[in-house]
Amino acid sequence: MDAIDDLVKLLSRLPGVGSKSAARMTYRLIGTDPNYNRRLGEAISTLQERIHRCTICGSFTETDPCPICQDEKRDRSIMCVVEQPQDVLTIQNSGIYSGLFHVLGGAISPLNSIGPDQLSFSALRKRIQEGDFKEIIIATNPNEEGDITALYIKRMFKDSGLKITRLAAGLPIGGDLEYADRRTLEISLRSRMDM
């Protein structure tokens, strides 16, 4: 049963997929609509040929520049800085932001020897200088590396006269206080808001 074993092993390498769920997927694929398998196989095989980095913002796109950078209806006075291309999709899907994006390609991490030079800060500086921005929203992750990176961006633009903000950290909406970790609780207590 080589074809089955092969596929189980390949699927097991996907994030969050163990050998049992890979086997379950494989058996589903044996019994499913052949047209679906063909489409899925094709979508995986051709993904990297179709998806590239936008040369302006650094997010994933099929066209260059990406649809967001090309869209004249977007608010070109706000720049949202994120770590990864997938963060663009996350914020886009929320439907509550209509400005531009800049993808750093990661976060500053002394522990992993990732310094500012390895991230797209010079492109960010150039875009800010050449554009007509009023605000930079820092949307790096709420962890130590994201904090260092946010601080770095804040310092980089401290004399620019731009408003510099960062996504609020706190309790996740719909969550339970009981399940909040100590660090989140501490931050949400420190930045408590008037009611």
DSSP classification of residue 142: S
The tokens describing 90, both together, are 């996350």
Q: Which of 71, 86, 119, 156 binds a copy of itself (CB under 8 A)?
A: 86
The answer to whether 162 contacts a copy of itself (rule: CB under 8 A) is no
Q: Do residues 130 and 151 lie in contact, with contact meaning Cβ atoms separated by under 8 Å?
A: no
The answer to whether 183 contacts a copy of itself (rule: CB under 8 A) is no
The tokens describing 118, both together, are 């390895």
**Least Cβ distance, residue 156 to a copy of itself (angstroms):** 27
Residue count (the chain)? 195
Distances from the Cα of 141 to the Cα of 58, 60, 88, 106, 184, angstroms: 17, 19, 13, 10, 13
The answer to whether 10 contacts a copy of itself (rule: CB under 8 A) is yes
Angle at the Cα of 94 from the Cα atoms of 173 and 40, rounded to 5 degrees:
115
Which lies closer to a copy of itself via its Cβ, residue 19 or residue 160?
A: 19
Helix (H) or strand (E) holding 76: strand 75-82
**Least Cβ distance, residue 137 to a copy of itself (angstroms):** 21
3-state class (DSSP) for residue 164: strand
Q: Which of 55, 64, 89, 191 binds a copy of itself (CB under 8 A)?
A: 89
**Terminal-to-terminal C-alpha distance of the chain:** 64
Q: How big is the site for a copy of itself, counted in residues (CB under 8 A)?
A: 50
Q: Which of 50, 155, 158, 183 binds a copy of itself (CB under 8 A)?
A: 50
Q: Which of 55, 62, 64, 71 binds a copy of itself (CB under 8 A)?
A: 62
Residue ranges binding a copy of itself (CB under 8 A): 1-4, 6-7, 10-11, 13-17, 20-21, 23-30, 34, 36-48, 50-51, 60-62, 66-67, 84-86, 89, 178-179
